[in-house]
Amino acid sequence: MLPLPSAQQLRYLIALSELRHFGRAAAACAVTQSTLSAGIMTLERQLDTPLLDRTVGKKVVFTPLGHEIALKSRQALAALEAVPQLAAAARTPLTGPLRLGVIPTIGPFLIPRTVQILREHFPRLLLSLTEDTTEHLLEKLSLGQLDMLVLAMPCLCDGTETHPLWQDPFYVIMPTDHPFSALESVPVERLSEYNMIMMEDGHCLREQTLAICRQSPSRNGSEGESEPTFTAMSLHSMAEMVELGLGIAIMPALAINGGILKNRKITARPLADGATWRTIGLAWRPRSPRAADFSTLASTLLTLALDPA
């Protein structure tokens, strides 16, 4: 029988692959640098193959096979860690560590109350949070660095199991003295009359806004979107730009109900026909042993949606 790497050896290899520095990887594993280095060398002897290219000086460079083994190590360690998680989930729901990822256009408006309710009802749950763009969160999920994601759909969520929760309508926000503020709802075809402030590249809300704008003829008479004059890093920055009169923007109801426009000279109006929204949903790895936990969390989030106060 071939000798199997230990879980600790896999942790050393994964940390070194992620941080590309022996000192930082050792600190992340709570061991000395010499212990981590010895562990990597033992693993290389055990596998009878070099994992690192040591001809490049002090830089940490993985061999092609070493890179592939590091990827497999993440999957193997995630599967190994799932064993006690499965046993814990069978005893009591939502106990132990849960690494949750959330996108920036959802997190500030949903997570505070979610954390409060989870602490009240599931005090043995050890929740950790990561806020990032959809693409980066999905990558971390596939590598076993996160357990579950809160996303806005539609998104490119291939390779995950998804659980849609509720629809989050889009509104147009504008300064209070803007011509659109006199309307009960804003026709999509009129959006191109004014500069549209959007999230920067990488945010799904940007793509969703562009999809809406494609329904509006551009100022030169053709259909499609023009380049936004201003881009924002966050919804709060977007609201500030709108208040300054730099343009209009598409804002999800979740953020508006969360108070992002409070004490601002901004008006929000729905899009005409009410046919534009995103779907808030969950995503996790297929066949996760904690699927029952995630379903319980889905019910908790739905409760927040129905009773946001």
Taking the CB of residue 100, how many other CB atoms lie within 10 A of it?
Answer: 22
Token pair 């596998």: residue: 47
Determine the pLDDT at residue 93. 72
Where are the alpha helices (H) located in the chain, listed in sequence order? 7-19, 22-28, 33-47, 64-91, 107-121, 134-142, 204-213, 235-243, 253-257, 291-306
- Gap between the Cα atoms of 103 and 114, Å rounded: 15
Closest by Cα among 137, 130, 25, 100 to 70: 25
Could you read off the pLDDT tens digit of each residue along the chain, which spans 309 residues? 677 899 999 999 999 998 899 999 999 899 999 999 999 999 999 999 999 998 888 889 999 999 999 988 888 887 787 777 667 665 677 788 889 999 999 999 988 888 888 888 888 888 999 999 999 999 888 878 899 999 998 777 778 889 999 999 999 999 999 999 999 999 988 988 899 999 998 888 898 888 888 876 655 444 444 455 689 999 999 999 999 999 999 999 999 999 999 999 999 999 987 668 999 999 998 888 788 888 888 888 887 666 655
| One-letter identity of residue 176 | T
Q: What is the pLDDT of residue 220?
A: 47
Strands 248-252 and 231-232: unpaired
pLDDT at 18: 87
Strands 266-270 and 277-284: unpaired
Q: Is the pTM of this model over 0.85?
A: no
The token pair that represents 309 in the structure block: 């106060």
- pLDDT reported for residue 306: 60
DSSP-assigned beta bridge partners for residue 237: none
pLDDT at 158: 77
